[in-house]
């Protein structure tokens, strides 16, 4: 069993949000104040550790209703929603067994006996997908206000009682055994007198296109999916609540044998000792001249609970890491590790058939990199090859970079007049996970704009961007990349552009590409093919037409006389005992002689190439007039003389050794092409 879909309407910063989750690891990323914690709070409201009578608790306030500002006739109006709706949909495998030992301990509930009727499967699917309040009423033939009204069940002839304990009623096993999808619809409403009413409905069905059964209450929740939620502000006393509903309370209660004679004797001795300690205080408190309680009542103070059932509630967790103290007095990292480990132990040892959901907000808080990886490993242990489910909110690369996990990454961000929105991207293949393995690239998931380059261009572009913010666009300032939440990402090769582009577009992040000139002639066509779902057909057709004109007269093969000389040279090498393939020699010669710079284009084709470049510029794809090395000034080439440095090392040497001030970059790099690119990136801001 796992949480497969979450739908939120009008809750905190969320106006309308629908998210898909997967078994295993789900990572919610996004910059600060994007609404990640509000998503977790919504899940907690429905699937958290709440008493079945949770509606009595103050878990929803006036501030939880979505509000937005709008301007009408020069007046600012704040509009606040009157209803909150949260829907959690769970799925289980057909072969999965429910834990009826736990389920049968729950209260029973009324359910509607009839099923809605529809003309087509398609009609059902559309209604369910949108899930507006009106459609909820239409699909399930009920209104939350009506069904909550006093006497509704007595009036309804369609209500049937389901219970695991009463012999004459329908059993939980009969009701749930064939069901593979379960849903909870939570609704909070503001009344005219300022009160907040809360209701929850429980639905279940066999498969995606089957009709739903609707229950009037939801006593069965943690028994279907046991959750543990570790909030960003660590509070072990709250996370490890000890009561009959919490997983930690269940763990302690099931671990204690109330009939153990040693335990009974120990508590009896403690009670005797406490009576002696508090003798004087008891006498004073019960003196008739001191009015503490009601008449004819007696007050006592003792160290231990007075009933067997309460013994487990007095348990405390101590951790000895060189200093023995309570868990709540330890650091955030130890608290997180202990809570995750205990929850994992409870699921494996006491709730064998229960599905489990672990939610951790910002597990990286106050932890050094190795400590973060320890917590990441604890989460992996809990998941046990996707047997369980984890939802993590994070700003840290340690929880994103993985070559092993099938990650479902969810990007949350705020959009004006829409509130918090989110997008999913899956990393399930080895090629896709290559993006995640490079830790420095994980920051792209927190960016508003990503600038893709091949390799060493990253360091040069970042340095040029500072100079650009000082000289070209002083209103931006030299640190505008960070202040505008932009990242420069090196893909390692022009052949890797498509992987990054696809994932960034999937998440709704703006992407800009700056490539060497040869990417235009050798690589861009393949890039368009690999990313075609993000382009209108007219864009690709227009590029193919221009590209065909540019390449129609370019030589495809080496001249015959050159091929003849290569054959002779290869034969000579063989006679000397060196076997070198003619194909490799030809490839190397073609690499050295192929077009790499705009100036190498024939004059009669330059106009067409320029037209193509302008067209691609509008698509946020731009090119240097050659390669990175072609942008070096004579002064930089002189600085490299006598130094044995590779292609990728030179840009690092430039920015780390030669640059004293951002303005110095213009002495070493021809910045015009970079400035033109940055004009496109910053166009909307200036």
Q: Could you give the CA distance from residue 67 to residue 427 in angstroms, rounded to a whole number?
A: 35
Q: Quick one: tokens of 357?
A: 């959901």
Is the per-residue pLDDT at 428 higher than 60?
Answer: yes
Residue among 552, 530, 532, 531 nearest 612 (CA): 552
Which residue, chain included where needed, has tokens 């691609």? 616
Q: Could you give the CA distance from residue 108 to residue 225 in angstroms, rounded to a whole number?
A: 18
Q: What is the pLDDT of residue 475?
A: 93
Residue 657: count of CB within 10 angstroms of its CB: 9
- 346-385 pLDDT, tens per residue? 777 776 556 889 888 888 887 888 888 888 888 888 888 7
Q: Which residue has the higher pLDDT, 168 or 523?
A: 523
- 266-321 pLDDT, tens per residue? 878 877 887 888 787 767 666 655 555 455 566 667 766 555 556 666 677 777 77
Is the per-residue pLDDT at 445 higher than 70?
Answer: yes
Q: Quick one: tokens of 514?
A: 């700056």
- 464-503 pLDDT, tens per residue? 999 999 999 999 999 999 999 999 999 988 899 999 999 9
Q: What is the pLDDT of residue 461?
A: 95
Q: Which of 9-18, 312-321, 565-574 has the lowest mean pLDDT?
A: 312-321
Q: What is the pLDDT of residue 155?
A: 45
Is the per-residue pLDDT at 613 higher than 70?
Answer: yes
pLDDT category, 40, cuts 50, 70, 90?
A: very high
Percent of the chain with pLDDT over 90: 21
Q: What is the pLDDT of residue 128?
A: 34
> Longest C-alpha distance within the chain, in Å?
121
Q: What is the pLDDT of residue 288?
A: 58
- CB-based contact 331:201 (threshold 8 Å): no
- 453-473 pLDDT, tens per residue? 998 899 999 999 999 999 999
When mean pLDDT is compared over 199-208, 239-248, 254-263, the highest value belongs to 199-208
Residues 208-215 have a mean pLDDT of 75
pLDDT category, 141, cuts 50, 70, 90?
A: very low
Residues 254, 256, 259, CA angle at the centre, nearest 5°? 120
Q: Which residue has the higher pLDDT, 393 or 559?
A: 393
pTM score: 0.77
Q: What is the pLDDT of residue 281?
A: 72
Residues 562-579 have a mean pLDDT of 82
Q: What is the pLDDT of residue 131?
A: 41
Is the per-residue pLDDT at 338 higher than 90?
Answer: no
Please name the helix (run of DSSP H) or strand (run of DSSP E) that holds residue 587, with its range, or none: helix 582-593
Is the per-residue pLDDT at 402 higher than 90?
Answer: no
Please name the helix (run of DSSP H) or strand (run of DSSP E) that holds residue 492, with its range, or none: none
Q: Which residue has the higher pLDDT, 38 or 195?
A: 38
Q: Which residue has the higher pLDDT, 249 or 491?
A: 491
The single-letter DSSP state of residue 103 is H
- CB-based contact 379:371 (threshold 8 Å): no
Q: What is the pLDDT of residue 309?
A: 53
Q: Quick one: tokens of 269?
A: 């001795």
């Amino acid at each position: 069993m796992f949480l497969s879909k979450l739908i939120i309407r009008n809750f905190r910063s969320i106006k309308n949000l629908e998210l898909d989750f997967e078994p295993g690891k789900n990572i919610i990323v996004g910059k600060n104040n994007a609404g990640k914690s509000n998503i977790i709070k919504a899940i907690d409201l429905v699937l958290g550790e709440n008493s079945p009578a949770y509606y009595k608790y103050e878990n929803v306030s006036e501030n939880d209703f979505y509000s937005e500002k709008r301007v009408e006739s020069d007046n600012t109006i704040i509009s606040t929603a009157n209803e909150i709706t949260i829907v959690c949909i769970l799925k289980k495998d057909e072969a999965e067994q429910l834990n009826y030992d736990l389920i049968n301990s729950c209260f029973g509930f009324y359910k509607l006996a009839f099923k809605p009727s529809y003309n087509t499967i398609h009609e059902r699917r559309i209604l369910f997908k949108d899930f507006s309040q009106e459609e909820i009423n239409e699909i399930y033939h009920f209104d939350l206000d009506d069904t909550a009204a006093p006497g509704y069940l007595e009036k309804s002839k369609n209500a049937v009682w389901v219970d695991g304990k009463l012999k004459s009623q329908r059993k939980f096993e009969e009701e749930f055994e064939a069901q593979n999808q379960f849903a909870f619809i939570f609704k909070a409403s503001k009344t005219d007198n300022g009160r907040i009413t809360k209701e929850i409905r429980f639905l279940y069905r066999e498969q995606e296109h089957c009709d739903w059964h609707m229950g009037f209450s939801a006593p069965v929740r943690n028994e279907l999916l046991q959750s543990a939620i570790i909030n960003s502000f660590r509070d072990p006393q709250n996370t490890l609540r000890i009561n009959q509903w919490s997983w930690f309370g269940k763990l302690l209660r099931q671990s204690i044998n109330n009939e153990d004679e040693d335990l009974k004797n120990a508590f009896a001795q403690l009670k005797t000792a406490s009576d002696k300690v508090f003798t004087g205080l008891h006498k004073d408190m019960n003196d008739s001249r001191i009015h503490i309680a009601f008449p004819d009542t007696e007050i006592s103070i003792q160290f231990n609970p007075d009933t067997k059932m309460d013994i487990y509630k007095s348990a405390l967790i101590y951790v000895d890491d060189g200093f023995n103290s309570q868990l709540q007095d330890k650091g955030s990292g130890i608290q997180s590790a202990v809570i995750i480990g205990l929850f994992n132990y409870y699921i494996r040892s006491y709730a064998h058939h229960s599905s489990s959901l672990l939610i951790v907000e910002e597990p990286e808080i106050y932890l050094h990199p190795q400590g973060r990886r320890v917590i990441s490993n604890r989460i992996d242990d809990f998941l046990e090859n996707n047997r369980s489910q984890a939802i993590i909110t994070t700003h840290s690369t340690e929880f994103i970079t993985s070559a092993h996990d099938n990650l479902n990454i969810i990007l949350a961000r705020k959009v004006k007049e829409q509130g918090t929105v989110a997008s999913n991207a899956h990393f399930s293949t080895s090629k896709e996970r290559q993006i995640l393995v490079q830790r420095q690239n994980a920051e792209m998931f927190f960016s508003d704009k990503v600038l893709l380059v091949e390799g060493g261009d990253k360091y040069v572009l970042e340095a040029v961007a500072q100079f650009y913010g000082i000289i070209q666009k002083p209103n931006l300032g030299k640190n505008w990349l960070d202040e505008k939440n932009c990242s420069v990402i090196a893909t390692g090769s022009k052949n890797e552009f498509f992987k990054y582009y696809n994932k960034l577009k999937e998440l709704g992040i703006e992407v800009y590409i700056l490539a060497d000139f040869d990417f235009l002639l050798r690589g861009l066509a393949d890039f368009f093919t690999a990313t075609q779902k993000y382009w209108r057909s007219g864009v690709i057709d227009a590029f193919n037409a221009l590209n065909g004109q540019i390449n129609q007269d370019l030589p495809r093969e080496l001249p015959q006389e050159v091929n003849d000389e290569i054959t002779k040279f290869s034969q000579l090498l063989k006679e000397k005992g060196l076997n070198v393939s003619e194909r490799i020699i030809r490839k190397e010669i073609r690499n050295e002689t192929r077009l790499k710079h705009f100036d190498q284009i024939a004059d009669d084709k330059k106009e067409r190439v320029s037209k193509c470049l302008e067209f691609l510029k509008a698509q946020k794809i731009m090119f240097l007039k050659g390669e990175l090395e072609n942008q070096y000034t004579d002064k930089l080439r002189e600085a490299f003389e006598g130094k044995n440095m590779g292609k990728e090392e030179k840009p690092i040497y430039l920015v780390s050794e030669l640059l004293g001030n951002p303005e110095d970059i213009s002495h070493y790099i021809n910045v015009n092409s970079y400035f033109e690119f940055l004009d496109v990136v910053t166009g909307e801001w200036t």
